[in-house]
Amino acid sequence: MIDNEAILACARKTILSESESVAALAQYLDHDFTESVQTIYNTNGRVIITGIGKSALIAAKIVATLNSTGTPSAFLHAAEAIHGDLGMIRPGDVVICISKSGNSPEIKALAPLLKRDGNILIGMTANKESYLAKESNLILHAYVEKEACPNNLAPTNSTTVQLVMGDALAICLMEMRGFTPEDFAKYHPGGSLGKKLLLRVGDMLDESHKPMVKPDDSVKVAIHEISEKRLGATAVVTDNTVTGIITDGDVRRMLNDRDNISGVTAADIMTRNPKTVASYDMVVDAFNTMENYAITQLVVVDGNEYKGILHLHDILKEGIV
C-alpha cells in the first residue's frame, strides 16, 4: 500500500508523461496530415472512423467531435465491420482506421476491405512500417515512445495522442469551413450554448398572459394585476403603448411612504421610460441588460407595440446562465 505522497507522485508522473507525448506529436505532422484535411474537406461523403479496443473508443469520440463541428461522420467498430457493418461505407466516404500497432489481426483483415469501393483510407498509427500504414493512402503518424503505464502495456499515452490528433483534424476543418459559434449552436440547440446563441426574447413570451394596466387605474388594480400574472411587475399602457412600469418594489415603496392610498393611480407610482427589449433580441443580451441595470424585468416592445414582460427567473429556468 502506498501513501498519499506516492499517489500524487504517480499521478503527476502520468500527467507529465502524457503531456510530453502530446507535445512531441507536433513534430510528426507532415504532408500526409495536410492531405488528410484537404481530402476530408473536399469529400462529398462522410468520414467513417474505425478501430478496435481502446482505439475504437477514441474513434467514437472523434466522430462526435467532427459531427458537432460540421463534418458528417460515423463510427464503425472494426470487429463488427467484417460481420456485416461494412455496408455502411459508401463510395465517396473517407475512412480513418485507428490502430497503435497497425498490425492487429482485426486490422489486417479489415484494411484492404475499407478501400474496395475506391475509398481513401487514412491510417492513424504509431508504426509507419505497419500493415495498416502500408495499406493506407495517407498516414497520420500518432507516435509515442512509451505508455504512461508502468508496464508499458495499457494504452494511455497512445490513446491520448490519438485523441489529440483527431482534435487537430477537427479544428483544422472548422477553420477551413469558417465554422462560427452560430454554426456550433445549430448542432447543439438543447445545450446552454445553443440557447445563448439561438433563443430570442419572443420565444419565451406568452403574449396572451401579459400584465398591463391603464395610467388612471387604481393602485389596487395594479397590485391585483402584478399578483395574477406573477411576473413581479405590470406595464402601464395607453393604446398598447408603454408609458411606464410598476414593480413589486414600487408598490412596497408606495406603502412605506403613504398612509392612505385612496385615490392613488398607476401613473402616480410608475417608473417612466422603463428599460425595454425587442422580441427579436437575443435572450442572452436581455440578461446582460438586466445585470447591467440590476433589474429583474424588462418590458418587451416591438416598435411602439407592447408585447409583454420578460423576467429574470424565466431566463434562469432555461439554463442560459
Q: What is the pLDDT of residues 23-37, one digit of tens each?
A: 999 999 999 999 999
Q: Which long-range contacts (CB under 8 A, 24 or more apart) does 226-232 make?
A: 226/251, 229/309, 231/297, 231/309, 231/311, 232/296, 232/297, 232/311
Using left for φ > 0, alpha for ψ between -120 and 50, and beta otherwise, residue 104 falls in beta
Query: Which is more confidently placed, 189 or 100?
Result: 100
Task: Please report, rounded to a whole number, the percentage of residues in the chain having pLDDT higher than 90.
Answer: 76
Average pLDDT over residues 315-320: 80
What integer pLDDT is reported at residue 207 of this predicted model? 76
Question: How far, rounded to the nearest angstrom, does the alpha carbon of residue 46 sit from its chain's CA centroid?
Answer: 21
pLDDT at 1 over 80: no
Sketch out the chain's domains with CATH numbers: 4-178 (3.40.50.10490), 198-317 (3.10.580.10)
Question: What is the value of pTM for the model shown?
Answer: 0.70
pLDDT at 192 over 70: no
Q: pLDDT for 223-246, tens place per residue?
A: 999 999 999 999 999 988 999 999
Average pLDDT over residues 102-118: 92
Task: Please report, rounded to a whole number, the percentage of residues in the chain having pLDDT higher than 70.
Answer: 95
Q: What is the mean pLDDT of the chain?
A: 91
- CB-hemisphere CA count at 13 Å for 22? 15
What integer pLDDT is reported at residue 13 of this predicted model? 95
Q: pLDDT for 122-159, tens place per residue?
A: 999 999 999 999 999 999 999 999 999 999 989 999 99
pLDDT at 263 over 90: no
Average pLDDT over residues 87-110: 94
Q: pLDDT for 300-311, tens place per residue?
A: 999 889 999 999
What integer pLDDT is reported at residue 191 of this predicted model? 61
Phi, psi of 155 (to 5 degrees): -60, 115
pLDDT at 91 over 90: yes
Sign of CA dihedral 304, 308, 311, 315: negative
What integer pLDDT is reported at residue 138 of this predicted model? 98
What integer pLDDT is reported at residue 314 of this predicted model? 85
The x, y and z cell numbers of residue 191, run together, are: 445545450
